Chain A
């Protein structure tokens, strides 16, 4: 396992564009902390975003994992190109001839994905802990470490998304086209939802079907946190709107994303085995 990671590390770290993207991704993750700096000072009205409760434990876990997941696109580029570059440079052929098995090849890529997702989760954990420590109104340990399932959801979400990227890299073999395909697919999921609800089944059923699609199931793991804010809810109450949303992470949502991850890995290996290089 260490050997496979080392192989991948040599490949990735010495590639300048990958290195720049990886570094900028982690810098961006850390920059969530900059939200704390958002301050308006308009005469008598003083608005300091950090004081609005977004950095309260345990809400911060939800908020930060949601925001951090937006940056995953940076790593998606790295992962898609680390796969498709093996095809364009034909180095995948040489790797196999040199004695890497096809299973090991996929395993080395997947291990890299796990490491990326793991480090991202650790980053978000540390940044949130520090931000919360500074701005949270509650600092009792039992509150600080509640709702930790959002971190697990974040990890699973990244692994699932990156596995999808790996699969697309193998399927399409060209990084630009694979990324294009990723964007088209995300639109396609909405189109499927629209067409189903419009012509075939009820909107309710269409929504359920949509929640089984890969990108949507990953998005459902961490739902938008904004309506959960006290400030937003009190505004909603004032205009007579009742926000009744379910923010929890459910076990079946984990299972769904895990199933997609397994499917993408299996699909990648099957494609690699079936094709002549």
Chain B
């Protein structure tokens, strides 16, 4: 598999504060990565370092095969970090022309990308007249101008209204479906869950997990159960070898599995033990629950 970005033992200190601590991960072509972490966990700093705007304290990173200089490599990258930064007095089209000049690509793609993000009708309006959602969409158009090998998005839906969020997400999905590698930094877990195949989880600058989303959700899930005789059900579940622990909430028993088991088997086992279920649902843990488990686990240590 072709490697796009390799990060090795990257550390960044702001005075006494360690923003990124000994971080390592690799990004392979064709995958959609989520860079997860609460606010202030070092996501933007990490992106800033690999994008040449923040100086690293130690460690290294390399783009592509490692033989190109960072600024040459960045011409093959499309990136938006935090707020969209453009010249307020230039029109959408003029701003994109400037980006074309910097990236050394012809002007030919401007119309296509402006149409893609739905800004072609506003092509000659000055950037300062745009709403935040439009600014963000222009930033995406700008990042796509060179048909990048990788698209880096740092909290692209931050500060947008629900409609804007929806538009941006649809755009990201569309771009991902065309096979572009994406690195999406966010603290919105459902956003990451919906589009990403791989995740890197950061907390206080430390890498807590890096791998596939499926691998992260590799637990066997849990059952939500209710019966007429809750007491008997609880006792039965606690003695079942496949169940690791049982919790009760709002009259529902939650049984976490340590071995795989499907709903039919669970139902049959209960029935054979004279327990009649009125409610049985098998669920997988969401990324959010898993994320909280991982970050809390780190807290406990």
Contact = CB atoms under 8 A, between A and B. Distances in A.
A and B physically associate: yes
Interface of A: 3, 6-7, 10-11, 14-16, 89-91, 93-102, 104, 273-274, 276-277
Nearest to A274: B55
Given A90-B83, A274-B55, A97 B74 contact: yes
Interface residues of B, number: 32
Contacts of B85: 89-91, 93-94
Is chain A's interface secondary structure helix, strand, loop, or mixed overall? helix
B102 A10 contact: no
Contacts of A104: 71
Contact of B89 (A14, A90, A99): A14
Contacts of B72: 99
Counting from the closest, the 7 A-B pairs by CB-CB distance are A99-B75, A101-B71, A99-B74, A94-B85, A90-B85, A277-B53, A276-B54
Interface in B1-59: 14, 48, 51-55
Given A10-B94, A10-B97, A15-B89, A93 B53 contact: yes
B69 interface: yes
20 contacts: A6-B101, A10-B98, A10-B101, A11-B98, A15-B87, A89-B85, A89-B87, A89-B88, A90-B85, A93-B85, A95-B102, A96-B51, A96-B52, A97-B51, A97-B81, A98-B75, A98-B103, A99-B73, A99-B74, A99-B104
B79 interface: yes
Contacts of B98: 7, 10-11
B277 interface: no
Contacts, number: 82
A89 B98 CA distance: 15
Nearest to A275: B55
Contacts of A273: 55
Interface in B252-297: none
Contacts of B73: 99
Contacts of B55: 273-274, 276
A115 to B, nearest CB: 17
Given A90-B83, A276-B55, 4 more contacts: A11-B98, A93-B81, A97-B81, A101-B52
Nearest to A88: B88
Nearest to A100: B102
